[in-house]
């Protein structure tokens, strides 16, 4: 039997991360936050004065990075940058570096290395379509732009970061458009994926829906 993967894709601030992590905890599976990888690349490029639109330079930078996840921490070359990558600026940077095919290619092996027994929950934009196409369970988790903007807004306030609802909404719309329209691994629902609309769905209900679907597909 191959090691099972639950692929959870969807747009920014849809609640994917929270749901994916809870599902992973519940099943005792490993968890891949692939968005964090693109954020780390954006952060490292920024630190090295590499422009986010310079595909080759960013790809070269991405290949040179030593990225590790330890518990809730993201380490870049041994340094904890968990907070630094969670800003709106790095979210924007991530979506700009993620457009480049060579940058995406530079992160493929690293993403595959997260696959370990007894299973993996992989969260991102292209988990079910590109990185783990044979995942037995694929979820497309989404919510309206307004609800997602509200969630991101509250999340930032909760972390005592500056937040402006209108700016967040506009950034989300730009990021969605960039993620959906790019040529390389665009954000699309994978074939056979289960669509989970979370506007009126609690986190607990979303988690249970995923767990039930996983039981059925085993």
Extract the annotated binding site: 10-18
Helix (H) or strand (E) segment spanning residue 30 = strand 30-33
Extract the annotated binding site for ATP: 10-18
Helix axes 55-64, 34-47, angle to 10 degrees: 110
39 lines the binding site for ligand C5P (CB under 6 A): yes
Cα R_g (the chain), whole angstroms: 16
**Residue closer to ligand C5P (CB basis): 129 or 209:** 129
C-alpha dihedral (112, 116, 122, 125), degrees to nearest 10: 10
Total residues at the site for ligand C5P (CB under 6 A)? 14
Binding to ligand C5P (CB under 6 A): which residues in 135-164? none
- Beta 79-80 vs 30-33: how paired, if at all? unpaired
22 lines the binding site for ligand C5P (CB under 6 A): no
CA distance 67 to 32: 12
125 lines the binding site for ligand C5P (CB under 6 A): yes
91 lines the binding site for ligand C5P (CB under 6 A): yes
CB of 218 to ligand C5P, least distance (A): 25
The residue range among 61-69, 89-97, 150-158, 202-210 that interacts with ligand C5P, by the rule CB under 6 A, is 89-97
98 lines the binding site for ligand C5P (CB under 6 A): yes
**Residue closer to ligand C5P (CB basis): 15 or 91:** 91
12 lines the binding site for ligand C5P (CB under 6 A): yes
52 lines the binding site for ligand C5P (CB under 6 A): no
Choosing from 95, 129, 198, 209, the residue that interacts with ligand C5P (CB under 6 A) is 95
* 3-class secondary-structure state, position 103: helix
Q: How many CB atoms lie within 10 A of CB 173?
A: 13
Contact (CB, 8 A) for 65 and 157:
no
**Residue closer to ligand C5P (CB basis): 1 or 109:** 109
CA distance 213 to 205: 12
* 3-class secondary-structure state, position 107: coil
Binding stretches for ligand C5P (CB under 6 A) = 12, 34-35, 38-39, 91, 94-95, 98, 124-126, 175, 179
């Amino acid at each position: 039997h191959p090691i099972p993967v639950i692929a959870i894709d969807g747009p920014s601030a849809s609640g994917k991360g929270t749901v994916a992590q809870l599902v992973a905890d519940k099943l005792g599976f490993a968890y891949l936050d692939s968005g964090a990888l693109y954020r780390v690349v954006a952060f490292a490029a920024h630190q090295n004065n590499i422009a986010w639109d310079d595909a080759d330079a960013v790809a070269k930078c991405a290949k040179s990075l030593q990225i590790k996840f330890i518990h809730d921490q993201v380490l870049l070359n041994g340094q904890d940058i968990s907070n630094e990558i969670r800003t709106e600026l790095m979210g924007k940077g991530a979506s700009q570096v993620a457009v480049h095919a060579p940058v995406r290619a530079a992160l493929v092996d690293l993403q595959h290395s997260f696959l370990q027994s007894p299973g993996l929950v992989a969260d991102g934009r292209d988990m079910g379509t590109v990185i783990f196409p044979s995942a037995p369970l694929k979820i497309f988790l989404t919510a309206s732009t307004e609800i997602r903007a509200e969630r991101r807004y509250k999340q930032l306030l909760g972390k005592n970061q500056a937040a402006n609802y209108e700016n967040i909404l506009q950034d989300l719309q730009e990021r969605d458009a960039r993620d959906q329209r790019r040529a390389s691994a665009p954000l699309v629902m994978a074939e056979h994926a289960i669509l989970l609309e979370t506007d009126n769905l609690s986190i607990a209900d979303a988690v249970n829906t995923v767990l039930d679907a996983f039981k059925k597909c085993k």
